[in-house]
Amino acid sequence: MEELVEVRRLPALPERPKDAHKGQFGHVLIVAGSPGMTGAGCMAAVAAQKAGAGLVTLALPESLNPIAEMKLTSAMSWPLPQPGAPVLGTEAAELVIGAEQRFDAVAVGPGVGRADETQQAVRMLVGRLERPVVVDADGLGALVGGAGALGSARGPRVLTPHPGEMARLLETTPAEVQSAREDAAVRFARKHNVLMALKGAGTVVTDGRRIYVNPSGNPGMATGGAGDVLTGLVAGLIGQGMELFDALQLGVFVHGLAGDLAARRVGMISMRAEDVLDCAADAFRLVAEAGADALPEQALELLG
C-alpha cells in the first residue's frame, strides 16, 4: 500500500471575526427522515448548528415536516414532495439538486429508510450534487451494490460508516473489517476517491493519503442516534469552509470528546445521543482552550 501520512495534531477551529454575520458560516442542508425516524434528521440539524453553521435547513418528506417544525426552533425545515408514502423520492431529489446553490454542504441519510425509491433518490443525490456531501446511515445502504454513484460523483463525498455498514459496502463481514480497520478504510477511500470515517473504538479517518486514528470517545456512545450527531457536526464544519479532511477529523474528535463529557455527566449505561449532542458545545470549548495545532491528548487532559 502507498505510504500514508499519519496526522497527529488537531486542525484549528474555524475563525469567528468580530464583525461576523451568519452568512459567513455556511448554510447546511440535511436530507433526512422517514416514519419512525424523524428524530435522526432533527439531531443532525442541531449538531450542525452546534458545530457553528450559520444556517441549517432540514429537508424531509412533507407529511413529516410538522414534526420538524415542533422539534426545531432556530433551524429551518423544507417539506419535500413524497411519492405517496412519507419517504424521500426521486422528485424530491430533483428539487434538492436544482436548489443546491443555496447551500454550502449537504448531509444525506439520517433516518431516510430503505424504500426502493429512497435508495434511488440517494444515489441521484450522491452522484449529481456538486456540493460536498456527507453520507451516513441509510444513505450508505443505497450505495451497497451501487457504489458506482461515487465514481460518477460531481463533488467531494464523505462517508461515515460503522463496521456493519462498512462490511456491506465491501461485501464482507464486520469481523473482517474489524480485523484490519485502517486497511479497509484506506483501500475504500482510494478506490472510490472519498473521505472515510470508519466509526468504532479508534475511529479511522482517511482520504487515502492521510490517516488519523481518534483517541476520544467511549462505549457509552454505542447508542442509536450517535452517528446522526456526528453527521451534523461534520456537515456543519464543512459548511464553514474547512478543508474536508480537517472537518472530518475535528468532527470525529469533538464527537468523541462530547461523548466523554456525557459519560461523566450521566454515565455510559444511561447515555443517549441527546446527551452527546448536549455536550458538543463544551467539547468545542475544550478544543478551543487546548489551542491551535494541539495534540488530541492535550484536549483530553482538560477533562481533568
Q: How confident is the model at residue 298 (pLDDT cuts 50, 70, 90)?
A: very high
At 1, the pLDDT band (50, 70, 90 cuts) reads low
Q: What is the pLDDT of residues 155-181, one digit of tens each?
A: 999 999 999 999 999 999 999 999 999
Mean pLDDT of all residues belonging to the chain: 96
7-53 confidence digits (pLDDT tens) = 999 999 999 999 999 999 999 999 999 999 999 999 999 999 999 99
Q: Where are the alpha helices (DSSP H) in the chain?
A: 38-50, 65-71, 90-98, 116-128, 138-141, 148-151, 163-170, 174-179, 181-192, 226-239, 244-266, 273-278, 280-290, 296-301
pLDDT tens for each residue of 215-233: 999 999 999 999 999 999 9
pLDDT in tens, 181-206: 999 999 999 999 999 999 999 999 99
- What mean pLDDT do residues 261-275 have? 98
Alpha carbons 179 and 243: distance in angstroms, whole number: 30
Question: Quick check: pTM over 0.85?
Answer: yes
Domain ranges of the chain: 23-301
Phi-psi sector, 288: left (phi>0), alpha (psi -120 to 50), beta: alpha
Q: Please give the Cα distance from 68 to 42 (Å, whole number).
A: 7
pLDDT number for residue 171: 93
Q: Which pLDDT score, from 0 to 100, does residue 73 have?
A: 97
Is 90 exceeded by the pLDDT of residue 3? no
What's the CA gap between 150 and 14, in Å, rounded? 28
145 band by pLDDT with thresholds 50, 70 and 90: confident
Per-residue pLDDT, 91: 97
Listed residue (31, 11, 26) closest to 238, CA to CA:
26
Give the model confidence (pLDDT) of 70-80 as tens digits: 999 999 999 99
- CATH class label, 23-301: alpha beta
The Cα 33–Cα 77 span in angstroms is 12
Among positive and negative, which fits the CA dihedral 161, 29, 31, 270?
positive
